[in-house]
Structure 1
Amino acid sequence: MILLSFDIEEFDMPFEYGKEISFEEQIAFSVEGTHKILDILDKNKVKATFFSTATFALNAKELIDRIVESGHEIASHNYYHTAFSIEDLKNSKEALESLTGTDVIGFRMPRMYPVDEKEIQKAGYTYNSSINPTYLPGRYNNLDKPRTYFYQEGVLQIPASVSPWVRFPLFWLSFHNLPLWLYKFLANWTYKKDNYLNIYFHPWEFMNINQPEKFNFPAYVVRNCDQAYVDRLDQLIQFFKTKKYPFGTFKEFVAKIK
């Protein structure tokens, strides 16, 4: 199963590069990018999972309605994107469930930071997708973690997909920078080995973030952004469909493997 997921959140990334952006623009930027994503998914008739912060969802009700009405899954991406406390685990779940009228069974920590699995279980989640099982200097050091799904403290862990053998990460930055033919090759190799693929993106990647004065992002972040990123995702989905690989939400995947 192809597990496409999107972390929808306050667009706070400019702060990491010394730039200011208002809260209203953070929300508006991510809302517009998410609509672009939904258009691609609608066009290709595939379902996905949206990991949303409660803060973003509460400020983008019409967008969340569109996601739910289109048959996609809403999971938790914490209450805020920039701050975390243990109480946020349960509070974000309850806020998203109240807003969407759906059961929120999954969690992903912002920036894939570590989180106590006992607290995840206590908050009522079934699965957690907060591990990138690779090594990336200054970001991830998870070579000791299983590469594919496993259980920990009663919670199903669904790590982001990395290639067999060398554990090359297939996350959003790779999709920006690799030639598309090479990304397809690695993704296909991983799918055939694991029988599923878990890859994730963000709505702001589908926007024009190549604005040095405004955002100050490095070249490896802005390469192939905006319409180029829209086209790349569209082509990737069509590639998977020619292989007749099924698409589904994390919730569907959990039900299948159980």
Structure 2
Amino acid sequence: MVLLTFNIVNIEAKCKNGIEVSDEERLKISENNTKAILRILDKQDIKASFFVEISLVEKLRNLLKAISSQGHEIAFYNQNSSSEEIENTKRIIQDFLEKQIKGIRQKDNKISYESLKLMEFSYISNIDNAGILFPFKRLKRDTEIIEQDGLSIVPESISPYSQLPYNDFVFQVLPMKYYRNMVFETLKNDEFVLIYLNSWQFTDFARYHFDVPFYRRLNSGKKMEDKLDDLLSWINEKEMATSRMKDYIF
């Protein structure tokens, strides 16, 4: 099973030459990038899970409505929100969408499992920092979903052969031929492959002049769209099963 997920997050990088990009412009970039992702998913008829950074949820109501109406899952991505902020946002957006938010993803600032269970989340999909040296730091990890404190804990996927994780950075820099082989070989060994990308990776950095490392500019923007389209076309060609996170877990 291929679990395709996207983090909707604003790009935090500063701009070169003292150029300023307002919070409103950053939000619009995230919205446009997400719409590009949705067009590709619609073209390939594949459903995915979108983890929305909690501070952006209420600012992107119309976008979240569109995502949900197209059959994709809405979940939360916690960067630095408090338990109270998460709980309030969850209640408000569930009333707005008339659907339950079951999943949450965390990286640096992690709320306790007990607190998340009390908020009626059903699963947690934690991720690690992804950088140019990250793939070489941890070569072993569990790749099975476990139950803890009444929650399903979904780990990041890792190739059992190359030992590369399926994070946003690896997708961006690996040649697609190698990435497809990695997915194919992993599914021979594991029950699922969890892939995650960030909405900011679809930004046209030449247009906005964000000061990002050279290796993060590679295959970004339109090249990232083409790369995603290529992967999904291959998944359909090979008739691989795909699923939203909440459907696969429950």
Per the TM superposition, whether the score is higher than 0.5 is yes
- Alignment-derived partner of residue 154 in structure 2: 158
State the 1:64 CA deviation.
1.3
- Equivalent pairs: percent with the same residue? 27
Letter in 2 for 1:229: M
- Structure 1 distance, partners of 2:135, 2:111, is 15
- Alignment-derived partner of residue 92 in structure 2: 95
Structure 1 spans left out of the alignment, 5+ residues = none
- Structure 2 distance, partners of 1:117, 1:141, is 26
- Alignment-derived partner of residue 211 in structure 2: 216
TM-score, structure 1 as length reference: 0.86
Residue 86 (1) aligns with residue 60 (2):
no
**Residues 1-29 of structure 1, C-alpha deviations (whole Å, 9 max, x = no match):** 211111113x1421599985321012100
- Structure 1 distance, partners of 2:216, 2:239, is 31
State the 1:143 CA deviation.
6.5
Q: Structure 1 residues 106, 5: CA separation in 2 closer, same or farther (over 3 Å shift)? A: same
Q: 3-state SS of the aligned residue for 1:51?
A: strand
Q: Structure 1 residues 133, 197: CA separation in 2 closer, same or farther (over 3 Å shift)? A: farther
Question: After the TM superposition, which residues 1-150 of structure 1 pair with which residues of structure 2 at under 5 Å, given as runs?
Answer: 1-9=1-9, 11-15=10-14, 21-78=21-78, 81=79, 83-109=80-106, 111=107, 113-132=109-128, 146-150=142-146
- Alignment-derived partner of residue 246 in structure 1: 241
Residue 205 (1) aligns with residue 201 (2):
yes
- Structure 1 distance, partners of 2:198, 2:158, is 18
Residue 195 (1) aligns with residue 191 (2):
yes
Letter in 2 for 1:246: A
Question: After the TM superposition, which residues 161-176 of structure 1 pair with which residues of structure 2 at under 5 Å, given as runs?
Answer: 161-164=157-160, 167-176=163-172
State the 1:136 CA deviation.
8.1
TM-score, structure 2 as length reference: 0.88
Letter in 1 for 2:154: I
Q: Structure 1 residues 70, 32: CA separation in 2 closer, same or farther (over 3 Å shift)? A: same
Structure 2 spans left out of the alignment, 5+ residues = none
| CA contact 2:202–2:222 (8 Å) conserved in 1 | yes
State the 1:185 CA deviation.
1.1
Aligned length: 249
Q: 3-state SS of the aligned residue for 2:57?
A: helix
- Bigger Cα displacement from structure 2, 169-178 vs 30-39: 169-178
- Structure 2 distance, partners of 1:192, 1:45, is 24
| Higher RCO (CA < 8 A, seq sep 6+) | 2
**Residues 138-191 of structure 1, C-alpha deviations (whole Å, 9 max, x = no match):** 899777752221122221111221111553111111111111111111122122
Letter in 1 for 2:39: D
Letter in 2 for 1:91: N
| CA contact 1:93–1:104 (8 Å) conserved in 2 | yes
- Structure 1 distance, partners of 2:97, 2:218, is 34
Residue 235 (1) aligns with residue 234 (2):
no
